[in-house]
Structures are given as structure tokens and as C-alpha cells.
Structure 1
Amino acid sequence: MDFHPTEEQAAAADLAARIFRDLATHERLAAAGTGSDGELWKALTAAGLTAAVEEIGLLGLVLLLEEQGRTTAQVPYAATCAYGILPIAAHGSAEQRARLLPALGSGEAVATGAFPARGRITASPDGRLTGTAPVVPWLRDATHVLLPDADRVLWLVRTDAPGVGTPEVETTAPWSAGRLILAGAEAERLGDGRAYGEVLATARTAFAGLQAGVCAGSLARAVAYTSTREQFGRPLSTNQGVMLRAADAYMDTEAIRVTAYEAAWRIDEGLPAREHALTAAWWASEAGKRVVHAGQHLHGGMGADLDHPVHRHFLWGRQLDAYLGCGSELLAELGALLSDHAAPQGEDA
């Protein structure tokens, strides 16, 4: 495997880092509340960073999502790419790709997904959907929602279609979320029976990359704070307990990053990657939770301030901890998958 980014991937990541750093400031994020930053979204799409995902692949997207996570930028970037551009490019018909990808790449359309399958959505023979997805991130921004029915067939539905409701829902992180209510809503099918598992693995890998960035940003803030904050005449960072806590957080962050890179690389190469995506998602859930707690604790009393920038990393980290499956669910799914793949034992074993 090769985790070295291509020139195109590296250039896209550098450009994304500059845009997020310049526009996703604490003041702008606070002003956005629970909504999205429309100006930042326009800057990303105008720079071609949404459309570029078709070319740079999932590993390239993971690199870009790390940069988003470092600043907790409030834009539907991960959702549009993981539930729109990549699945349509991989599983859409020629007509669907021609109709949908340009609008998603330009930012005119925004996608999100109601994943994983919970058996709450049913489809009629003529492709009309009924049911409810209680919490869908970035739904208030979305023009299209990708979702599986009870049989794990994928459907794409427009949020402005008759029979579609999207009331606002508040979540731990300010992800412009909503409840998706379908009452005989017309939808179009995407892909074949393999599409659901592949899209879920892609989404888990992408959001693990986002969590790697959230954790890196939280840790960077903690390091900066403890290096300048003094207690008993010396910086907090010189205390052994602080150093050990930060070191553990660094190792956890690297574990999230490297497992996300591996899963993304395998998916881009067309290799089996379901176990690798689950592994990345498990690290993002379990280790991510530890890192954002550490980042907040290392700020001492300042970490309890809801208006402090590090608190945003805490909220995003906890939301990502549960999104697409919490640690125990992912571990159970991974264990069952590995058991199914185990070689059969002989009769005398």
C-alpha cells in the first residue's frame, strides 16, 4: 500500500487547508449557530474542491476532510462527497452521472445520506418511499438524500419532492440536521445490490478522516494552551501528567489517521475493504472520544467554557463517536464479519 498523496491530492489538501484556515474562524463559526456557512461553501465549490473528488478519490477526500476537521468548518462537504459525488460516480447510470454530478460539483446541489440502514424506510414497486429517518446530518442544506430501504436497496430522493418533510433537529454538533419524513415520496434507484455495502464503507472511511482532523485540531489547541499557560512558575506542558495525556492523544489520532488512509487506499484500488472501513470507524469512535475529552481536560477550567474553540472539537468528536455506529456496535459487526470469513475447521479440530 502507498499512503503518499499524488501531486493532485497534495495540491487539493493544501488549497483546502488555506480556505478552511482563512474562512472557518471562531467568530464566523459562532455566528453560524447550528447552520452552515454559505460563504465558505461557495469558496470550496468555486475552488473546485468538491468536483475534484471524482479525480482524487477517497484517499484524496480523506486528506481534505482532515483539513475540515481541524477547523470544524460548518459546511456539508463530507456528506455531499460521501453520499453524492462518490456513490453516483461509482454506481450511477450514465444519465444519472451526467445529470447530477455537475450540480453537486458546483455546489448547486447538496447531498446527504440516511445511513446506516435501520429498516425504517420501505419502497413500493413503483419506487415511492415511506418511513422516517430520525436524524440526518446536513439535511437542512440538502437538495438530495441517499438512503437505503429495508432491503438495503439505495434510493435517491429530492428534498423538495411531494411527500418529503425535513423538520429541524438539534444534535450534539451543529450539523444543520433534520428529520426525514417520507410519505409516498418519488425516488430513483441507485446501483445494484452491492451498492449499499460499498457506500457505507466509503462513508465510514470518509467520516473517520474527518474525525482524524477534529482530533488533530483539538490536540493542537491543547498543546498551544499548555505550552503558554503557567502554573507554579513553569508551563503546564512540562508536567509529566500533561505530557503523557497529550502523547496518548497523539497516538490515538495517528491510529485514526492511518486506518482511515488504509481503508481509503484499498477502496480506491478496488480491493476488499469492509473490515478496514469498520476498523477505521471503530478507531474514530473509541479513540476519537478519548482525544476530544483529553483536549478539553488539558484546557483545565477553560475547557468547560462553551464558547471556547476547543469545545467545538469536543462536540464534533462526540457526534462522530456515535455517527454510523458507536464503538461497541462496530466491534460486534467487525467480529461477526471476521467470524464469517474464518476458514472452516476440520472435523477433528
Structure 2
Amino acid sequence: MDFGFSSEQQDIRQLARQILGEQVSAESLKAYDEYAAPRFDRALWRTLSEAGLVAVPVSEAEGGGGFGFMELALLLEEVGRSIAPVPVLSHCVGGLMVLERFAGSDLKQRLLRPALAGELLLGAAVLEAGNEDPVNPLLTRAETSGDGLRLNGSKQAVAFARQSDYLLVAARHVDGVAVCFVDTRAPGVTLQDCQSTAFEPQAHVLLDNVEVAAEYVLEPSDGAAIMHWLGERLCAAHCAHQIGVADAAMRMAASYTSERQQFGVPVATFQAVGHRVADCYIDIECLRLATYQACSLLHDECEAGVETRIAKIWAGDTGHRVNYATQHVHGGMGIDRDYSLWRYSLWLRHNEMTLGGSSVHLAALGRSLAAGEGLFA
């Protein structure tokens, strides 16, 4: 039995690597350092859209590429490898995939088709201050207003919020959790820019009596289920991105230590250095296997709560260890602003913090296993 990727999946990965390798460089990324400009390369985004990569997870029947979440994970891995300034994760997972699975034909016509054509940018506002559970919104409330909803509350650290045309928002409703797409230009929507260590454009989203027409509301009775579905895929998507970031940092370290010499021999020949880079490789391969397992199950719409949590733990720990190890073997070069490793270090920690501390996830995983979840009968 062949457990490798299909030729189509390999083509998607290769095409993404080629485009991103040609258009993203240390020089091009300098333009966004220290928030000198919003970290969004619109020309690259158009290229990815025109190449059909943005539409990868959407079925052909809806105008997409006809693939799924596993193929999107391979794309996200390449985005991480180049730390490209494009909103693939938020647009594809928080926007396109949710619309395809949960929206009616009218909303698909209004948002999905234009988003696939590159005419609209979508995002997802899922985090609240002191509340990282997308299934249980606490600070955002929705009440019925005519046939639609009226929203009040706030979401924080929303990636590409100012660049997005519509944001997916979950709010507490008397009937449960309501999920809708909010026009970022609608009256009552305020965006407050905030800064992250990786220079990703983010904003706090304030909602003050924001009216959302019925056409933009997903099935309210399924709100919690929608957000659970989305939360698992956002988590796995971040893990896929982390694979690419960590792998690129490790390869930079391997290349540097093979060329840098001490006492007349390459630093890579020192046993301690070799062991540290080898440990990075082992960590990354464990993260890769855990993430592919979770993404494969999610691709097939199978239960993957335990697998996703395992991938999340590996993503955090791998990011932490690879960050320190690659900085260590580089010596002073690791923090030189003319050398790109420092940007990868920021993204390794950014993804680690976005996914949350491993100790919390380990405790939750232990409770799941103790309850018999994820165990073979």
C-alpha cells in the first residue's frame, strides 16, 4: 500500500514552493519589518489566486480546485517555509471552507464565488479577551433584529482584519451560538490595529449594534457545531504552517554549520552541534506525522479531536526547541538583521503562542484519554 502523496498533491506542493520561492525573499520581507508597511503582498496574493492555489480546498462544483483540507495543509506548509505575507490560512480556512460546507446557495453566490475569484478577502474573528474557545463566545452577543441579527461585543487579534472584506463572527444568542459573516465596512464596526511579534497585520474588532442581514447568517442552530468544526481546522492549519517554518529554520542551521569553520573544520562536524540539529530533525518529523494524521482525518470529515490536540502539542514544543537550537548553533549570526533566521524565530514563537501552552493541552489530552477517547476498542 502506498502511503505517499498523490501526483496531484505533489504538484500542488511543488507549484506553491516554486511561486513562493521566486517571489518571497529576505529582501522582499524587509519591507514589512517593524510594521514599516502592512504585511500583505497583494501581488503575490493575486499570483496564488491566478495559479488556483487559493481555491485548492473548494470543490469543483463550487468553482474551486476540487481538492480538500489535506492539500491546503501542504500549501500552508510551503507558506510557512517562506513565511510569505499572505492570508492563506485565514481566508481559506476561516472563509472559503466554512462557506462551502455551511452556507446556503445564496450566500455562496454572494461571498464564495467572489472570494474564489480574488474579488473578496475573507477572515475569521474567533478569539476574545480572556477566552480562546471559539465554540463558546462570551464577550460577543447577538440578538434577533428583523430577519437578521444585531451584534455587540468584541473580538481580539484578528489576522488581516483591516484587509478583509468580511469576517466570520460567532456570538452568544438566546438560542445558542449564532455564526455570521460581518462586513468590515458596516456601521458600528471599529477596527483597532494591534501589533504582534511576527508583524502580522492584526486588529481588535469592536461591534456596536452592528446589523447583519439574514442572508449573511449561517444556520443558528448549528453555530456551536460550526465553530467546533472550524476550531479544529484552524488548529491543524497552524500546525501545518509551523512545519514549514521549523523545517526552513533547521535547514538554514544545517547549511550554516556545514560552511562555518572553527579550528579549520566545519562546525557541523562537532558532535554537540550535530546532535542539536539532529534533535531538530526528529522534532520536526514528529510534528509532521502528527499534523498529517490530524489533517488526513479532518480531510475525510472523521473525528480528530485527540489527533489535533497531539499535533498542537508537537507544534508548540517543536517551535520552542527548534527556535533555541537554531539560534544556538548560529551563534551571533542568528540575531543579525541582515540574516533571515530571526524572522523564522519570531514566527516559531508566534505560532507557539497562538496555539497555546503545551501543558494545558497535555492536561486536556490526558483527560480525553482517561475518558477513552482516541483509543482503539
Comparing 213-222 with 141-150, greater Cα deviation is found at 141-150
Q: For CA contacts below 8 A with separation 6 or more, give which structure has more relative contact order.
A: 1
Measure, in 2, the Cα distance between the counterparts of 1:297 and 1:107.
Answer: 42
Measure, in 1, the Cα distance between the counterparts of 2:269 and 2:339.
Answer: 23
2:248 paired with 1:214: no
C-alpha offsets along residues 154-208 of structure 1, whole Å, 9 cap, x if unaligned? Answer: 2221211111111211101121111111112233333414111111001111110
> Aligned to 1:107, which of 118, 135, 142?
118
In structure 2, the residue matched to 1:166 is 191
In structure 1, the residue matched to 2:170 is 148
> Aligned to 2:311, which of 273, 277, 280?
280
In structure 1, the residue matched to 2:369 is 338
Alpha carbons 2:162, 2:184 under 8 Å: kept: no
Displacement of 1:293:
2.2
Amino acid paired to 1:15: L
2:26 paired with 1:26: yes
Measure, in 1, the Cα distance between the counterparts of 2:111 and 2:170.
Answer: 19
Measure, in 1, the Cα distance between the counterparts of 2:237 and 2:46.
Answer: 21
C-alpha offsets along residues 90-122 of structure 1, whole Å, 9 cap, x if unaligned? Answer: 111222223222222222222222234252211
Comparing 66-75 with 95-104, greater Cα deviation is found at 95-104
Measure, in 2, the Cα distance between the counterparts of 1:271 and 1:27.
Answer: 42
SS in 1 for 2:162: coil
Aligned length: 343
Measure, in 2, the Cα distance between the counterparts of 1:245 and 1:154.
Answer: 46
Alpha carbons 1:153, 1:196 under 8 Å: kept: no
Structure 2: stretches of 5+ with no match in the other structure: 59-65, 127-132
Measure, in 2, the Cα distance between the counterparts of 1:328 and 1:148.
Answer: 27
CA RMSD in angstroms, aligned pairs only: 1.9
SS in 1 for 2:54: coil
In structure 2, the residue matched to 1:291 is 322
In structure 2, the residue matched to 1:189 is 217
Displacement of 1:71:
0.9
Alpha carbons 1:70, 1:217 under 8 Å: kept: yes
> Aligned to 2:139, which of 105, 120, 135?
120
C-alpha offsets along residues 191-227 of structure 1, whole Å, 9 cap, x if unaligned? Answer: 4141111110011111100000000011111111111
In structure 1, the residue matched to 2:78 is 67
In structure 1, the residue matched to 2:63 is none
> Aligned to 1:89, which of 97, 100, 112?
100
Structure 1: stretches of 5+ with no match in the other structure: 344-349
Measure, in 1, the Cα distance between the counterparts of 2:138 and 2:2.
Answer: 38
SS in 1 for 2:77: helix
Comparing 333-342 with 27-36, greater Cα deviation is found at 333-342
Measure, in 2, the Cα distance between the counterparts of 1:335 and 1:2.
Answer: 33
Q: TM-score, normalised by structure 1?
A: 0.92
Change (3 A) 1:156 1:74: same
Measure, in 2, the Cα distance between the counterparts of 1:175 and 1:67.
Answer: 17
2:13 paired with 1:13: yes
Alpha carbons 1:169, 1:179 under 8 Å: kept: yes
